[in-house]
Amino acid sequence: MTTRPAFLTLTAALALTTALPALAQVAAQDPFVLDDITLTANREPTELSRSGSSVSVLTGESLEGLAGQPLSRSLTRLPGVTLSQQGPLGTLGALQLRGAPAQYVPVVIDGIEVSDPAATRPYYDIGGQIGAGVERVELLRGAQSALYGSRAVAGVLSLQSLRPTEDGLHHHFGIEAGSYDTLTASYGATLRRDGTDLAFQASHVRTDGFSALDEDDGNFEEDGYEATRLSFYSAHTLQNGAVIGFNGFWEDSTGDFDDWLGDVAGTPGDDYSERESYGLRGFAQFTTGAVDHDIALTRYRIDRTSWSDGFVSPFTGTRTKLSWQGATDIGQDVRAVFGADTEKEDSDGNGDARINGVFVETTAALGDRIDITTSLRRDDHSRFGGFTSGRVAAVYRADDDLLLRAALGNGFRAPSLYELFGDYGDASLEREESRTYEIGVEKQWGDSYLRATAFWLKTESLIGFDYAATACGQPFGCYAQVDGTARRRGVEFDGRYAFGAGHALTAAYTFIDNQTDVPEWAMVPERVLNLGVQTTFATGTTAGIDLQHVAGRPDDLEDFTTVDLLVSHPLRDNAEAYLRLENVLDEDYQWVEGYGTSGRAVYAGLRASF
């Protein structure tokens, strides 16, 4: 546990933020400007100024020029986010939020949860996800089981693909090439006409990569990656106002990795994984009387096969979910949302489980200044029984430009199918339970703002690998409820200072005080600082520079600082070329001990819409 006073660390961060105007002639990218609406913090779209939750939003504009870059690189510039990546693009990648491991952060793509049902720990492997094809990102922090059920202990990450935004037919094209023989290409089309919205998008990335295990340790093989992704969206509004729709995605990828032995001469390409996944969602939205209804059916399937030293390991998992939601006004400035859902997960060879849930959420406006949202959910798991989760979030608008927020809630994680029924599983495992609290303040100055949030997270009844456990019948241990409690507390700052025409300074800072005796929960840095500057010249050229400093690392890993540069120039209306330099200072660093990261890299691209 750290003994560093949080106040001193935060004071230093604020000092850096206020010093930013001195760098006004330096350029940087701005990933922190929030939209006016959050789609994830409540059961219905909500104005951010009326939400008590901590939310970050990235739009397609924020991700321009980053088509071939790992999406995780953009996410780690948001408050509270750190990364565990075992090598180059396509290797195993896990997002950690407020110090909690990835299995406590469900990922939803276009309304379909994509956490891997067949994985030992059911999380989304973000290591191969690039910026191409992502039009909107929402990161919701804090315990959200009252909204999203199992696993939503630290928060929820939601990604959205291309959607129509204006009438007519529109095309979107992008191509990028650069270091490590990387090539990325994407095409998308949208159509809005006569009450119908259609969208289609395709992207492909190929890269030779670099050695997953660090080259400084004598490893020499390039670990490449190739992936193709298709997504579609359709919705039609009927004459009675009802909306019916269907959307989905398909992805196929092949990626090299390194096993613990490292590179061995004469065995090129011996370790690799193939993955194919798809998600489908059908939905209908309609109104009967005073009640608005939303019905959805989703299906997700992932097939993974790994080859390592001649051994083949196949994994197949599916998730099917049916949900219904109703909403109605129940009084002046009070709205209720209620519903039920049922979800079944299946993993070939490791059994299945079903979880049924019912929920209710009320949102009340107390005058013009206060909004309070309360959520209550009851889940019944076919293996361990029931659990009730709740959440309360409130916002007080002390002035038009000053907001105070607070939220508290509890959450749970059901044991994974592998933890229950795998070779090292124990069918008697119970759920993990958590509680979180947070308070925050936001000050706005036109297009500028500064936010600060303090948070606490406690998780009990943790599931881990116990070498002394015998329930699974294996000689070397089993998964079991392990001793110990995981506690996190910390603070997050992020801000934006806009000045002149097209100039902005940004900063984000996270401090995490680790108070856990559970090793898996200790693998996060204590401090992460991001600084950025962006400027626009009279020619229309934009330039941005981002600096990231990661310090207070576990396992004696060295602190590191990276700098990225992005320059774009308009070629004509709706077309521009860009140049991106990553790790400009050629910093030698690791996210995970023993695994390499990119050195200085250069990428050039062209994007256009018509």
Whether the per-residue pLDDT at 21 is higher than 60: the answer is no
pLDDT of res. 385: 83
φ, ψ dihedrals at 234, nearest 5°: -145, 140
Helices (H), 20-113: 71-75
Average pLDDT score over residue span 359-377: 96
At position 126, the amino acid (one-letter code) is I
DSSP 483: S
543: nearest Cα among 531, 534, 552: 534
Angle at 38 between CA 439 and CA 444, to 5 degrees: 55
Chain-centroid distance of CA 557 in Å reads 24
101: nearest Cα among 55, 151, 56: 151
Whether the per-residue pLDDT at 14 is higher than 60: the answer is no
pLDDT band at 1 (very low <50, low <70, confident <90, very high): very low
The pTM of the full predicted model, rounded to 2 decimals, is 0.91
pLDDT top residue among 63 and 107: 107
| Percentage of the chain lying above the pLDDT 70 cut | 94
pLDDT band at 18 (very low <50, low <70, confident <90, very high): very low
Q: Rounded to whole angstroms, how far apart are CA atoms 392 and 340? A: 20
Q: Rounded to whole angstroms, how far apart are CA atoms 272 and 406? A: 46
Find all residues with CB under 8 Å of 484, minimum gap 6, and list them: 462, 516, 517, 518
Q: Rounded to whole angstroms, how far apart are CA atoms 254 and 372? A: 47
pLDDT band at 266 (very low <50, low <70, confident <90, very high): low
Whether the per-residue pLDDT at 13 is higher than 50: the answer is no
Whether the per-residue pLDDT at 4 is higher than 70: the answer is no
Q: Is 209 left (phi over 0), alpha (psi -120 to 50) or beta?
A: left
Q: Rounded to whole angstroms, how far apart are CA atoms 324 and 341? A: 6
Average pLDDT score over residue span 63-86: 91
What are the structure tokens assigned to 407, written together?
Answer: 């939220």
Per-residue pLDDT reduced to its tens digit, 529-575: 999 999 999 899 999 999 999 999 988 899 999 999 999 999 988 89
Sign of CA dihedral 271, 113, 407, 137: positive
Q: Rounded to whole angstroms, how far apart are CA atoms 13 and 561? A: 15
Q: Parallel, antiparallel, or unpaired: how do β-strands 560-572 and 542-551 relate?
A: antiparallel
Contact (Cβ atoms closer than 8 angstroms) between residue 54 and residue 438:
yes
Average model confidence (pLDDT) across the chain: 90
* DSSP secondary structure, 271-335, as one string: SEEEEEEEEEEEEEEEEETTEEEEEEEEEEEEEEEEEETTEEEEEEEEEEEEEEEEEEEEETTEE
Q: Parallel, antiparallel, or unpaired: how do β-strands 402-413 and 385-399 relate?
A: antiparallel
φ, ψ dihedrals at 235, nearest 5°: -150, 140
Q: Please name the helix (run of DSSP H) or strand (run of DSSP E) that holds residue 298, with its range, or none.
A: strand 291-308
Whether the per-residue pLDDT at 31 is higher than 80: the answer is no
Q: Parallel, antiparallel, or unpaired: how do β-strands 223-237 and 243-256 relate?
A: antiparallel
Tell me how far CA of residue 255 lies from CA of 74, 117, 210, 266, in angstroms. 21, 20, 12, 19
What 3-state class would DSSP assign to 244? Answer: strand
Per-residue pLDDT reduced to its tens digit, 196-245: 999 999 999 999 999 999 998 888 899 999 999 999 999 999 999 999 99
Average pLDDT score over residue span 283-292: 96
pLDDT of res. 518: 75
Whether the per-residue pLDDT at 29 is higher than 90: the answer is no
φ, ψ dihedrals at 385, nearest 5°: 100, -150
pLDDT top residue among 517 and 38: 38
Per-residue pLDDT reduced to its tens digit, 569-604: 999 888 999 999 999 999 999 999 999 999 999 999
Per-residue pLDDT reduced to its tens digit, 419-466: 999 999 999 999 999 999 999 999 999 889 999 999 999 999 999 999
Per-residue pLDDT reduced to its tens digit, 122-164: 899 999 999 998 999 999 999 999 999 999 999 999 999 999 9
pLDDT of res. 258: 85
Strands (DSSP E) contained in 415-559 are 432-445, 448-460, 463-466, 478-481, 486-499, 503-514, 527-536, 542-551
Please count the other Cβ atoms lying within 10 Å of the Cβ belonging to residue 158.
Answer: 22
Contact (Cβ atoms closer than 8 angstroms) between residue 117 and residue 103:
no
